[in-house]
């Protein structure tokens, strides 16, 4: 692997970049701005910039001369499952790159839940008493995950008068959060949470973390928002909880399965608002990714540590 230094197995260096599956102009410009050059064949490349959601076309085609792979996703489970962490290269994600726009969508879902928009938007008659609007001022919001999304969301909530708790893997303090907890303490805080927001990666530790048992620890008036990965929630348990009268409102931008099949019970449920994984709209995603690409290409060219390296031990 090119550019390795003693004690720095994640340091790689090169300047020839292949962009796939298409050489979109904003990415060509981003690579050129960094001082690297775009090559037409992956066989010539030292680094690969990939902006396709499906990793399948790259399986088995990355040659030994490639030292770095930049993927377009913040969540890396598909790439890990496809075996890319087993290759002799450094893989970088887009972790945190899209945090601002996804946090904005999370805030929109939080406000929609608190103002019962799912119920009122489906009304066919004037019925102001069909749901109780609560607002968010003075409520306790727990944000699960403190990566790009969670870190961007916390300061959005504070001006609204929320008490903000953060739950993450390490217990690392988050600026502007009132308190920070580790995943193992989640059960202890759920009974006091008014709004639970999922913004964590999909890992062995987080898959299915919201299930019937954890939902039953929450107040019946609590709200749930997910902008992370659908499999953090056990969907069948969520439906049971809703039938049991738990959760006053739910906002989902991600689901399991995804996409939801036509006619799924979550569609049309009076207390559920579903958006079809649109928190990171295409134009903003390309723009944010291009800036990330330019920064990482410059680091790659100069042999410095890349941003958002996917660690084998953590899986993100």
Between CA 179 and CA 73 the distance in angstroms is 29
Q: Is the peptide bond before 115 cis (omega within 30 degrees of 0)?
A: no
Please enumerate in sequence order all residues whose Cβ is within 8 A of that of 30, keeping only pairs 6 or more positions apart, or say none: 290, 291, 293, 294, 297
- Out of 77, 258, 286, 298, the active site residue is 258
185 an active-site residue?
A: no
Please enumerate in sequence order all residues whose Cβ is within 8 A of that of 53, keeping only pairs 6 or more positions apart, or say none: 72, 73
Three-state DSSP class for 289? Answer: helix
> Which DSSP letter does residue 267 get?
T
DSSP conformation letters of 62-107: --TT--EEE-S-S--HHHHHTTGGGSSSEEE--TTTTHHHHHHHHH
CA distance readout (Å), 313 to 27, 36, 47, 66, 91: 30, 30, 23, 22, 13
CA distance readout (Å), 4 to 8, 12, 115, 167, 264: 6, 6, 54, 35, 51
- Out of 16, 78, 277, 286, the active site residue is 277
Between CA 102 and CA 178 the distance in angstroms is 22
In the block, tokens 């060219």 appear at: 301
Between CA 113 and CA 115 the distance in angstroms is 5
176 an active-site residue?
A: no
DSSP conformation letters of 16-37: EEEEES---HHHHHHHHHTT-E
40 an active-site residue?
A: no
Three-state DSSP class for 121? Answer: helix
Please enumerate in sequence order all residues whose Cβ is within 8 A of that of 192, keeping only pairs 6 or more positions apart, or say none: 140
- Out of 105, 229, 269, 292, the active site residue is 229
Report, as residue numbers or ranges, the catalytic residues: 229, 258, 277
């Amino acid at each position: 692997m090119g550019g390795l230094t003693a004690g720095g197995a994640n340091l790689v260096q090169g300047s020839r970049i292949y962009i796939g599956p298409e050489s979109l102009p904003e990415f060509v410009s981003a690579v050129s701005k960094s001082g690297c050059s775009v090559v037409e064949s992956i066989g010539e490349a030292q680094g690969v910039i990939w902006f396709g959601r499906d990793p399948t076309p790259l399986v088995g085609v990355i040659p030994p001369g490639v030292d770095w792979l930049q993927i377009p996703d913040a969540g890396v489970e598909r790439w890990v499952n496809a075996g890319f962490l087993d290759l002799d290269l450094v893989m970088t994600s887009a972790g945190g790159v899209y945090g601002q726009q996804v946090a904005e969508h999370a805030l929109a879902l939080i406000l929609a839940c608190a103002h019962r928009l799912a119920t009122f938007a489906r009304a066919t008659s004037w019925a102001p008493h069909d749901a109780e609007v609560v607002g968010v001022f003075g409520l306790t919001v727990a944000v699960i995950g403190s990566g790009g999304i969670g870190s961007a969301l916390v300061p959005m909530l504070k001006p609204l008068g929320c008490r903000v708790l953060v739950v993450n893997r390490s217990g690392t303090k988050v600026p502007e959060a009132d308190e920070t907890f580790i995943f193992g303490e989640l059960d202890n805080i759920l009974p006091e949470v008014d709004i639970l927001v999922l913004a964590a990666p999909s890992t062995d530790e987080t898959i299915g973390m919201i299930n019937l048992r954890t939902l039953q620890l929450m107040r019946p008036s609590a709200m749930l928002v997910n902008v992370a990965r659908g499999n953090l929630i056990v969907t069948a348990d969520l439906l049971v909880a809703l039938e049991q009268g738990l959760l006053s409102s739910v906002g989902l931008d991600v689901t399991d399965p995804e996409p939801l099949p036509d006619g799924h019970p979550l569609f049309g449920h009076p207390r559920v608002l579903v958006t079809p994984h649109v928190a990171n709209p295409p134009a903003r995603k390309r723009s944010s990714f291009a800036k990330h690409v330019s920064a990482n290409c410059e680091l790659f060219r100069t042999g410095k540590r890349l941003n958002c390296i996917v660690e084998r031990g953590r899986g993100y």
